[in-house]
Amino acid sequence: MPVDSPPAPQPPLVLETLVAQGLPSDECPRRARIQLDLLLLAIEALDLVGSEAMLTAARDLALDGLVKSRVHLWLLRGTNPMRRYSQRRPLHTEEAKALVMIICTLSRRLTVLVRQLLVGYQQLRDRELSPEHHFRLADYLSRFRSHFRARMNPRRAGVIAYSSDEKLNQLAIELLQQLLLCSGVLGPQRLWSSLFDGEVS
């Protein structure tokens, strides 16, 4: 008698809150892959144990079937084509949803710090002072620039656009603003939808 094949594994319940975007395939577009990796890069610049926190969040959310280990997380992030060691493998939508939930979970934990840095940044702008006048902000910006330059391919056009400290600082601030939006109750849905603006027909 034929043996029934086991049922296909179901995605974790936490991912069901993220609605499919009607993309032509199960693979995430380039823009989404870049954005997710940059947000994770900002989290690493905020939290010295950021990469370990990502794996802990995956376990807490029961997403360790999609984000299985430090190496697997590196492979997922390597789908960002701006990276030095970019992976040719696609980033599937379920994997992208898992990264969205991890980003939003960690954003909520970092909300107080993110708010402090953004308030400090605005105060410096109002007084026409440089970020060096705010120790915690300067530290975050310095770490972000270091991470970005160490991990991104300097020959890529998208990376060349951020060749100056000023451009990288502005990117780092924009990512802080996005992380703050991710920290709210509807943060995962907002982030998920933003990844596909202009991508869905």
Residue 136 lies in a domain: yes
Q: How confident is the model at residue 27 (pLDDT cuts 50, 70, 90)?
A: confident
Residue 16 lies in a domain: no
Long-range contacts of 44-49 (CB under 8 A, 24+ apart): 44/143, 44/147, 45/140, 45/143, 45/144, 45/147, 45/172, 46/110, 46/113, 46/114, 46/140, 46/179, 47/106, 47/110
Q: Residue 1's pLDDT is what?
A: 45
Domain enclosing residue 135, as ranges: 26-187
Residue 67 lies in a domain: yes
pLDDT tens for 5-21 read 444 445 565 677 787 66
Q: Residue 185's pLDDT is what?
A: 85
pTM of the model: 0.89
Number of domains present in the structure of the chain = 1
Residue 196 lies in a domain: no
Q: How confident is the model at residue 199 (pLDDT cuts 50, 70, 90)?
A: low
Residue 131 lies in a domain: yes
Q: Please state, rounded to an integer, the average pLDDT across all residues of the chain.
A: 88
pLDDT tens for 54-79 read 999 999 999 999 999 999 999 999 99
Residue 5 lies in a domain: no
Residue 8 lies in a domain: no
The residue-averaged pLDDT of 120-131 equals 94
